[in-house]
Structure 1
């Protein structure tokens, strides 16, 4: 079998996610199909490129050597394709372009709306990815202009050399979502001990998420059962009382779910806007900040949290 760029993308996706399931999700294929493809690649090489462990897939020594050569090729090809598409689009539209990326956030909709008003002639595109690290690599490769990402406390991101960054919020607390009839939902603030008997649901594909939750639970002396899955599934289980899950404080109110702060705010993230060097982010940052304030104002529990903690954002909120 001759190696093609698509084969190298498979290897990079598996290494980046550490999981065949998550790599398949990123590549948009089924896990059995991806497993078969990896087996074919390894047969053609004549040795294993990944070791299958209980906690996921890890590159072997040979795998690391192959990946060290594969990444520049994959990034180079992606950059070439992106540049060609961008040039073609710019020629058709005749206007400036703005390629933004973001991890999942309640702020994205308002940010896009504000940017389209402020930059009416710009061709604005959006890429959403669960992986902050992948978005940073994409900015570094020149395939995005800016990226809005969150960094889980205790799990620092490595920002590629040369990229510029601005901190939107140094410490955003993560709240907890639970069913309306959960005993702790009657309280304005929830203690971790109140959730000791609950299943916790965490999305392991979100960089640092599981490590951050595990660190906080361990520090509290708790070892609850943990389910791994995406947060769309988590929401349905939370509503039914089958699990609790961390959530962004800007999460909107729901009649079938309670969103509460955790006492002492043990879970937190840092919010960053990262951009290519020499790129003027003034307008993009200003609209992101305004969109964040709007989202914070709509979330009553978070608004109250900001007031209690005398956040600088409060000055912009009624």
Structure 2
């Protein structure tokens, strides 16, 4: 019998589980079948790979050697497969921009700029509430660029697999109905909203925890938070059912106003990412520039944010020549 990658995966699974019974469950096999398979692998490799005892199995010296080599071969094989799939999906001789993004105005702005600057080139989009899902699509070669956000200083998803560039840093604003008692304020203290219900869009980052922590620092716990889509968030604010959390670039909308929170207790970093080994890497600099310009255009459409930016120069689009501390590979 020749040694195959699936055999190394089996050995790795047994070592990780610490027992044949648990490994069999993880692999979806009957325990006797796994024992038989292990014996065949051990005959192929020339000796026992594990010692068996009352508390499970432990690698032998030979087992440690094989596991050490498997730790190199299995990731290399996975990366080869991913690279081949990514190449096959991303490069068929036809120029195109495949964008993945979460909710927000920047994705639409980037699509508009790319379509205008590259007429005749296909620009397609994939959207999800999940930043991790969007990043995974780039890793798999199904999307060329990921346009996502991250709260505060939290790292972007798949930071060890993708190149990330910071597009802009925005404060988080609050959406208020036009008849709200605080709607005429230039800024709002978070503590002034302690008795309010809140609404926000979903996501799989740490924003919910960051919001809860900011509220705690202001001395309260939110009464309730309605997590729903953008249109429903707007409706709940318009009818006075809740106040909303939004990015500072949120476009003007009938029936509501957006106001900065005093002291900017919550920040949102806009990021764009791509795979360094994909063909898209060759046009990444241009796409980053378009994304930053799209943010500048979105910010200019918000009177409240334009006024706030004039007094807070550390926010807004990242200058083209800046290399931020969040740039990473």
Q: Deviations over 1:53-90 (max 9, x none)?
A: xxxxxxxxxxxxxxxxxxxxxx9999998876667xx4
Residues 45 and 191 of structure 1: CA distance in aligned 2, closer, same or farther (over 3 Å): farther
Mapped partners of 1:174, 1:303: distance in 2: 14
Deviation at residue 204 of structure 1 after TM alignment: 3.8
Quote the residue 2:152 is aligned against. 153
**Count of residue pairs the alignment pairs up:** 243
Quote the residue 1:116 is aligned against. 115
Mapped partners of 2:83, 2:110: distance in 1: 26
Structure 2 SS opposite 1:185: coil
Mapped partners of 1:226, 1:312: distance in 2: 30
Unaligned runs of 5+ in 2: 1-27, 31-78, 320-329
Residues 96 and 200 of structure 1: CA distance in aligned 2, closer, same or farther (over 3 Å): same
Alpha carbons 1:135, 1:147 under 8 Å: kept: yes
Map 1:1-318 → 2, pairs under 5 A = 90=92, 95-153=94-152, 155-169=154-168, 171-230=169-228, 231-278=230-277, 279-280=281-282, 281-311=284-314
Q: Deviations over 1:165-206 (max 9, x none)?
A: 11112x310100011111111101011122111111233435
Structure 2 SS opposite 1:246: strand
Mapped partners of 2:137, 2:318: distance in 1: 35
Structure 1 SS opposite 2:187: coil
Alpha carbons 1:97, 1:124 under 8 Å: kept: yes
Mapped partners of 1:212, 1:228: distance in 2: 16
Residues 245 and 120 of structure 1: CA distance in aligned 2, closer, same or farther (over 3 Å): same
Alpha carbons 1:238, 1:244 under 8 Å: kept: yes
Mapped partners of 1:302, 1:201: distance in 2: 20
Alpha carbons 1:204, 1:228 under 8 Å: kept: no
- Computing the radius of gyration from Cα coordinates, the structure with the larger value is 2
Deviation at residue 228 of structure 1 after TM alignment: 3.0
Residues 115 and 162 of structure 1: CA distance in aligned 2, closer, same or farther (over 3 Å): same
Deviation at residue 119 of structure 1 after TM alignment: 2.0
The two structures, once aligned, show a CA RMSD in angstroms of 3.2
Tell me the TM-score normalised to structure 1 length: 0.67
